[in-house]
Structure 1
Amino acid sequence: MPEVLTILVLVLLVALAIFVAVRTTVATARKRQGEMASLARRLGLRFDPRRDDQLPKQFRFLDKLAEGSNRHARNLISGNYNQHRVLLFDYHFVTGSGNSQRQNDISFFMLFLPLPFPEVKIAPEGIFAKLAGMFGFEDIKFESAEFSRAFHVRARDKKFAYDICHPKMMEFLLGNRDLSIEIEGRVLALAFERQLNSTEFVFNLTRLLQVRSLFPKYLFP
């Protein structure tokens, strides 16, 4: 009888722990949804809190949106902002397996370009170390030794990489060393390694537009 009582108590404790964890998760998700909805209103943009499993498939040419499994977006903020079409969202994906499985929740920003461009990736030193040489990409070096030390730039089209990473762009990036940028097709994207709060969203939306403003005008005949 004592053994049965002990087992019953353990089962109840486990059930209680699961209940508390679920309630906490739901409360956190609701709070996040409210913050993002408020942010969208402040920015004059549309808000959609629903889970979107198709978005990663639609934009799977962007490396971060092809990473891991169980990929989906939530809390989508979209519309025209300062004459640019943007899409900002919370993004979830799972990496690893078994005991080493990791749940990843990050923020992702997209700005749509009027013309398609070849792929260029610009990321802080170390981000691409494990990807060296993949898919025929080479790490492009620049006249600025400081920039080459601080950032990896990978592209098949070296000329386009040099077009993008001109002196003013390099100066901007050296002042914003946390930015990871991917350009491909009609998308300019910023990926972050964690979920940003609403204040950080506004700050990084501004930086996204600053990157776009530094594209050379001759790229848009």
Structure 2
Amino acid sequence: MSVLVVVAVLAIVLVVAGVVWGIVALVRRQAYIRSIRERGWNFVNTPTWDSVARLSNPPFGIGFDRKPDDQISGVTAAGRSFQVIEYKSPYWSGWVGMVTLSRRLPELWITGGETTPRYGVLAQAVPAPPQLGPGWQVGTMDPAYAQETMSPQLCRQLTALAAGQPGVNLSIDGDQVVVLDPPRKDLDRLAPWLEQLGAIATSIDSTPLDRWIQPEPARRLTFYHHPDWNWIGVDDSLLQFAPVQRGGSNHRTSDVVRGRDGDGPPFVAFEHHWTTTRTESYTDSNGNTQTRTVTEHHSEPVLGFQLPVRMPPLTVGRKGLSRGIEFESAAFNKQFAVFAQDAKYAYDVIHPRQMEYLMAAQGRPFRIEQDWVWFSPGEHSQPAIAHCSLYLRGFLGRVPRFVWRNLGLPDTPYPAIESTPVG
């Protein structure tokens, strides 16, 4: 038998095996979905954003590309609503199970056994109750809230849940008790697991926590610890005034976010996409010279903060080939290049205390153009926006009061803060 015949036979076998495997997987999936519905539960192949709109703590509330997938929902024997859903983002992917609480409460994180805290969590670690035993961790933004929530009854329920799985990764997210990695493949295990989760929710509901009730949030895509950020998605009108690349064609925006942090300036952030074409020559298989059109796709992150008043042009960036304005600090001059049309204005704004801040914060380059501050963030991401927001807030808070008054404001719009972002 020739080599070509062997290769052809193997290819046919692989194709047939693939088709058979696809059929088996489809049959198994349909049987799984049928079993879900026979229990009185619902199954949605492609759930909408409403399925996770109320959730803002990790793994939710982080990143721009968030994808809910297969969803199981229903009611426990005690009448408590639940859902088990697949969720994917750039920072985490997997399955999540949750049951509903009677109140919206602050975030609380509880991990035990063979698990680790979730990516992006900003909570403070506090001592776990001794009833839980070794290996448990508790995180919160307010230790008093954690102490009131971690009742002996809740500790018993958590211990019971941990007995049936290698690790527990649980949180309170608004009016949901959320646990990662539910046993969703085995419905005979999933049903009692959900009842255990319901018992945990009952323990929390029975604890007097009304003073911790949180307000109802807007129904929109949320960002963890950034309640005033709003997801826009697409807004090509931004290209009319933002300092983007103007060459090429097919200009568009994606992942547009607007918002602000506290008393800082409002921002707009997005990814700018465009294409360019060029003609190149090549030699074909016959040795003839031909030409072809090549299309290249480009993108750049754009991040701008709007100021309450127009300011003179000023650029603050890393030291490069251009020297920039020389300041009295040799260490600052070695790291930074500052450019301004008015050197005196630059000296007023970049004073010794400001230089110390800029060197400590190590922020991204930025330039002030009229009433906007435009950053070179390096990437379009939630951490980059948050870092630049805090970095700029610290910079503006150190601009002297007389500078703002000279620009026409009665006083500084940004009181001084001591926070210094790192990285």
Q: Normalized against structure 1, the TM-score is what? A: 0.65
Offset at residue 91 of structure 1 (A): 2.4
Q: 2:345 aligns with which of 138, 147, 160?
A: 160
Name which one, 1 or 2, has greater alpha-carbon Rg: 2
1:190–1:208 CA contact under 8 A, matched in 2: no
What amino acid does structure 1 have at the position aligned with 2:307? L
The within-5 A match list for 1:10-21 is: none
1:76–1:87 CA contact under 8 A, matched in 2: no
Q: Secondary structure at the match of 2:64?
A: helix
Q: Secondary structure at the match of 2:266?
A: strand
What amino acid does structure 2 have at the position aligned with 1:105? E
Give 5+ residue unaligned stretches, structure 1. 1-30, 133-137
Q: 1:43 aligns with which of 219, 227, 232?
A: 227
Deviations 1:77-126 (A, max 9, x none): 224532344123122255986479562332x3322222211111111112
Deviations 1:33-76 (A, max 9, x none): 437943288432322001x333132133xxxx246545543323
Residue aligning to 1:28:
none
1:119–1:185 CA contact under 8 A, matched in 2: yes
Distance (Å, rounded) in 2 between the aligned partners of 1:175 and 1:67: 35
Residue aligning to 2:333:
148
Give 5+ residue unaligned stretches, structure 2. 1-62, 67-88, 90-219, 279-293, 406-423
Residue aligning to 1:12:
none
The within-5 A match list for 1:17-96 is: 32-34=64-66, 37-39=221-223, 42-50=226-234, 52-60=235-243, 65-66=244-245, 69-70=248-249, 71-93=251-273
RMSD of Structure 2 on Structure 1 (CA):
3.2
Distance (Å, rounded) in 2 between the aligned partners of 1:41 and 1:76: 18
Q: 2:401 aligns with which of 201, 217, 221?
A: 217
Q: Following superposition, which runs of at least 4 residues in structure 1 exceed 6 angstroms of deviation?
A: none
The within-5 A match list for 1:57-206 is: 57-60=240-243, 65-66=244-245, 69-70=248-249, 71-93=251-273, 98=278, 103-106=298-301, 108-126=302-320, 129=321, 139-196=324-381, 198-206=382-390
Per residue, is there more helix in 1 or in 2?
Answer: 1
Offset at residue 181 of structure 1 (A): 1.3
Deviations 1:149-208 (A, max 9, x none): 111111111122112211122111112334201112111232212233x33432332222
Distance (Å, rounded) in 2 between the aligned partners of 1:211 and 1:67: 30
Residues 116 and 102 of structure 1: is their aligned pair in 2 closer, same or farther, counting only changes over 3 Å? Answer: same
**Percent identity at matched positions?**
19
What amino acid does structure 2 have at the position aligned with 1:91? E
1:117–1:185 CA contact under 8 A, matched in 2: yes
Distance (Å, rounded) in 2 between the aligned partners of 1:217 and 1:167: 15
Q: Secondary structure at the match of 1:219?
A: helix
Residue aligning to 1:24:
none
